[in-house]
Amino acid sequence: MIWASWSDFWHMGGYGLYVWGAYAVCLAAMLGEPWLTRRHRRQALQAAASREETSP
């Protein structure tokens, strides 16, 4: 291990804001995008189902 303690880890040698600022946005994007695409797929399926009901 290269970090003496957890607080050292978060501190990132003084660059915490930059490192975590970058990683946070990255994580948010890579959690948000899958969520959005799954929702898109779900809605497409629901739309197809409701078409079934109106026109068999």
Partner 1 sequence: MNPPIRWSTFAAPSRFYQLAGALNPWFWAVAVALAIAGLYVGFLVAPTDATQGDAYRIIFIHVPAAWMSMVLYLAMAFWAAVGWMFNARMGSMLARALAPTGAMFTFLALWTGSFWGKPAWGTWWVWDARLTSELILLFLYLGFIALQSAIDDVVRGDKAGALLAIVGAVNVPIIYFSVRWWNTLHQGATISMTAAPKMAQTMLLAMLLMTFAFWAYAFAVVFTRAQALALERERDTDWVRALAAKG
Please give the residue ranges that form the binding site for partner 1 (CB under 8 A).
1-3, 9, 12-15, 18-19, 21-23, 25-26, 29-30, 33-34, 37-38, 40-41, 43-49, 51-52
Q: How far apart are CA 27 and CA 50, in angstroms?
A: 35
Q: How far apart are CA 47 and CA 39, in angstroms?
A: 12
CB of 5 to partner 1, least distance (A): 13
CB of 48 to partner 1, least distance (A): 4
In sequence order, the 6+-apart residues with CB closer than 8 A to the CB of 19 are 12
CB of 17 to partner 1, least distance (A): 8
